[in-house]
Amino acid sequence: MNGSIKPTRIGIEGVFYSLAHAPDLVRFGSKPAREIAARPELGAALRSKLRSFSAAVAYAPHQVYIGNITPKELSGLPMPWYEKLIEGATAQGPFGDLVDQEWFYSMLRAADQFELVTLEEEWFNDRGPARRNGRKARLQPLDGIQGLCDKGALPLYSGARLTGAFGAGHAEDANLSADVLLENLAAKVSAAHALRSVLAGMRTDPSDIDYVISCSEEAVGDRYNRGGGNLAKAIAEEAGCENAGGSDTKAFCAGPLYAMVHGASLIQSGVCRKVAVVAGGSLAKLGMKFESHLKNGMPVLEDVLGSFAVVLGPPKDGEPCMRLDSAAFHPVRAGASPQAMAEFLAEKPLARLDMKLTDVDRYGVELHNPEITVPSGSGDVPLTNYRTLAALAVMRGQIQKNQMADFVKSRGMVGYAPTQGHIPSAIVYLGHALDALRRGEIKNVLLIAKGSLFLGRMTQLSDGCSFLVEMNGN
Amino acid sequence: MLSGKKIIAIGERDGVPGAVIAECLEGAGLEVVFQATECFV
């Protein structure tokens, strides 16, 4: 490596991941909602294969997500993971947690400033004072809740019990319908929980955060401002970051890495001292592959809303940091093939730092859990990405063809993230990356995220972003 | 054998993009009536 290159580093001060287990919201995912409307019998089939909270906690990929076991340990565990549950698993990990649906409903209610959430009074009162945080609860007896649902509110169930209703924000505006607002509020609540948690773990006062960037996948706005956004500000408010400004960074699944680069740039430029990058869960993606799971006799595995929060600050000696000078974006001219992605997001930016693909100890790519994707024919996404990187290393003469499998094994990992779009997209590995760097197991990690811009029907382009993570002082 | 056939080409984000499939098949004399790239995760 060229010793004349002076790294530009930004400190990674903390990271937290959360999964909100929301089995009774799966029916409101985009795919289940459409399929159940077309074939109502699917509703009962789906409900029969929903998991309990304890099963979701003991699911090995979720334990990796919150940091209790490593991706390497997961690769050694027998499959199917949904049957081989982890005995004694806990909902808290070193850098994450799982929260249950009751908690999530109560947080939706507490974060609601527009009388969208109404809870069944007996159910609410039975939950005790712990559930009564935040704003005054809007309560109704069961027949009142049923009446709201009859008029178009979304029913909030706890198993077979109707426990609440989620209403629209406007009678005519499709952008403020109950299903859209439930998506948006779910993103806000789950992101705010991750932000509060990371700050609590760092013993940092929320008022110390200067700026919050949200890279969630919702589209907040009314009919004149569809996707207008700045959910970041709402998340900052909910997490008590009273001194923070904020804005959203959108780039499909590549959003989190762009948000990290933008946040690091705010610090490097001196505009901000402490920036939080956050994302809430994608309700639309719940149950996306539920039909395949039902067909294979599996539980519906897409029953969790993922979220994360990262706090960036000035670099500190001996602590992990981003290499801002390694940041790479997929340019318009690059083309959308996987090889072009690997060239522009790995080979070329590394070459700029006088590094080869083999100088990276670990690659964090899109770490979708294969147990979710393979039954539906979507393949093993991380494995495909690692093979592309290995093939490029062969083409450039950096490894021999017979070393590809070793490249994939030593520099890659098994996927473990729920199919929540932006959440699995490399950023999910940051917590484990920081641990591995601090333990000295690896000297660097290249995070690579891709975005499917073509889904919005504005361009045929793909997109992507990448950067290195390493210890400060190396 | 395929010349003159009409083709729908669906590419995949992590695999072969739809536009690439379409270009190859058009070169082989097929008529691509629709092509798209999708993301299945």
* pLDDT tens digits for range A436-468: 999 999 999 999 999 999 899 999 888 999 999
Q: A267: burial class by Cβ within 10 Å (0-12, 13-18, 19+)? A: buried
Residue A345, Ramachandran bin (φ over 0: left; ψ between -120 and 50: alpha; else beta): alpha
Please list, in sequence order, all residues whose beta carbon lies within 8 angstroms of the beta carbon of residue B2, skipping any fewer than 6 positions away. B25, B28, B29, B30
Look at the block and give the residue holding tokens 């990276």: A360
Q: Is the dihedral of CA A173, A177, A180, A184 positive or negative?
A: positive
pLDDT at A345: 98
The DSSP-derived string for A14-58 is EEEEEEEE-GGGGGGSHHHHHHHHH-THHHHHHHHTPPPHHHHHT
Look at the block and give the residue holding tokens 């997490």: A239
Confirm if A419 and A372 have CB atoms less than 8 A apart.
yes
- Contacts A376 to B, Cβ<8 Å: 40
The count of C-alpha atoms lying within 13 angstroms of the C-alpha of A43, restricted to the half-sphere facing its C-beta, is: 14
CA–CA separation, A229 and A217 (whole Å): 10
| A424/B41 touch (CB, cutoff 8 Å), yes or no | yes
* Chain B residue whose CA is closest to A420: B41
CA–CA separation, A237 and A226 (whole Å): 22
CA–CA separation, A128 and A123 (whole Å): 10
| A338/B14 touch (CB, cutoff 8 Å), yes or no | yes
Query: What are the tokens at A183?
Result: 């998506």
Q: A455: burial class by Cβ within 10 Å (0-12, 13-18, 19+)? A: middle
Tell me whether B13 touches chain A (CB under 8 Å): yes
CA–CA separation, A244 and A274 (whole Å): 9
| A424/B39 touch (CB, cutoff 8 Å), yes or no | no
Task: State phi, psi for A247 to the nearest 5 degrees.
Answer: -165, 170
| B14/A336 touch (CB, cutoff 8 Å), yes or no | no
* Chain A residue whose CA is closest to B13: A452
More confident residue, B19 or A225: A225
Tell me whether B38 touches chain A (CB under 8 Å): yes
The count of C-alpha atoms lying within 13 angstroms of the C-alpha of A471, restricted to the half-sphere facing its C-beta, is: 15
A378: nearest CB among B16, B19, B40: B40
Tell me whether B10 touches chain A (CB under 8 Å): no
CA–CA separation, A37 and A43 (whole Å): 9
CA A199, distance to chain mean position in Å, is 18
Tell me whether B14 touches chain A (CB under 8 Å): yes
Strand pairing class (A444-451; A362-364):
parallel
Name the strand (E) or helix (H) holding A467: strand A463-471
Tell me whether B17 touches chain A (CB under 8 Å): yes
pLDDT at B14: 82
Q: Per-block average pLDDT, block size 10, for chain A (474 residues)?
A: 81 98 98 98 97 98 98 97 98 98 94 96 83 78 98 97 98 97 98 98 98 97 96 98 98 97 98 98 98 97 98 97 98 89 97 98 98 94 96 98 98 98 96 98 97 91 96 85
**Interface mutation vs chain A, best among B10, B13, B23, most A CBs within 10 Å:** B13
Beta-carbon contacts below 8 Å between A and B: 46
Name the strand (E) or helix (H) holding B12: strand B6-12
> Which amino acid, A7?
P
User: Which DSSP letter does residue A44 get?
Assistant: H
CA A274, distance to chain mean position in Å, is 21
Confirm if A132 and A157 have CB atoms less than 8 A apart.
no
Confirm if A201 and A14 have CB atoms less than 8 A apart.
yes
Confirm if A187 and A20 have CB atoms less than 8 A apart.
no
Reported residue count of chain B is: 41
- Contacts B14 to A, Cβ<8 Å: 338, 366, 379, 381, 384-385, 450
A270 to chain B, minimum CA–CA distance in Å?
A: 37
CA–CA separation, A325 and A24 (whole Å): 44
| B40/A373 touch (CB, cutoff 8 Å), yes or no | yes
| B40/A421 touch (CB, cutoff 8 Å), yes or no | no
Angle at A407 between CA A468 and CA A395, to 5 degrees: 90
> Which amino acid, B21?
I
Q: A17: burial class by Cβ within 10 Å (0-12, 13-18, 19+)? A: buried
Confirm if A446 and A385 have CB atoms less than 8 A apart.
no
